[in-house]
Amino acid sequence: MKKVLFALLTVFLLVGTSHALTTLDFEGIPDDYYYYGGNQNLGDYYDGVSFGTHATVLDRDIYGYNSYGYPPRSGDAVLFTDAFWSGEIRVDFDNNTNHVELWYSSFFDLWLEAYDEHGNLLTYDWGDGIRRGNAFLEVNTADTDIAYVLIHDHGYFYTIDDFGWEEGQGGGNPIPEPATVLLMATGLLGIGGIARFARKRS
């Protein structure tokens, strides 16, 4: 019986503390948001995140672009910035996170920098320029304190695809609220006690 209770508690901890990765592939958005459409800033089009000035989208089927050198990782659309002079995209999160990831194609090295709400740099990742393919970047922190990220190169051309984050995740191994664990553990122990009592009476 103890083994069963332990297994149930383990399953609860694993399931109850998992966090789904939200991924944006930038497919199927209104024409106004495409660079060759209305060139409207993405802003808060997506739930959970807000894209800063100059964040727009390229799509090789709707508004064609030369995707030979900068192919999407999935589908036909990619995140793009028209700010060639700075080459920067800022993404703010509605709720702090501790994990952000993306795939990119770029001419120069690309940087993914994570900041807290006070503008302090927490951590970063970077990769070499890659054309005719995609490379992966990710940032992680020990706490849920990534308020926004900056994506930038040296002011040339790059595209982003499959941008993802885990909203509200706490630390590398998230821990459930103590009250929730206590309630569940008490319930499991109660079930075990009843079963044991019934077994003794029989």
CATH number at residue 148: 2.60.120.200
Structural domain that includes position 198: 1-17+175-202
**pLDDT above 90: residue 43:** yes
Q: Which long-range contacts (CB under 8 A, 24 or more apart) does 136-139 make?
A: 136/101, 136/102, 136/103, 137/101, 137/102, 137/103, 137/104, 137/110, 137/112, 138/99, 138/100, 138/101, 138/102, 138/112, 139/99, 139/100, 139/101, 139/112, 139/113, 139/114
Number of structural domains found in the chain:
2
The verdict on 194 and 104 lying in the same domain is: no
The verdict on 52 and 62 lying in the same domain is: yes
The verdict on 107 and 161 lying in the same domain is: yes
The verdict on 107 and 201 lying in the same domain is: no
The verdict on 180 and 132 lying in the same domain is: no
Residue-wise pLDDT for 50-59, tens only, equals 999 889 999 9
The verdict on 78 and 64 lying in the same domain is: yes
Q: Can you give the pLDDT at residue 189?
A: 46
Least confident of 79-83, 109-113, 130-134, 150-154: 79-83
The verdict on 8 and 92 lying in the same domain is: no
The verdict on 72 and 92 lying in the same domain is: yes
β-strand partners of 105: 159
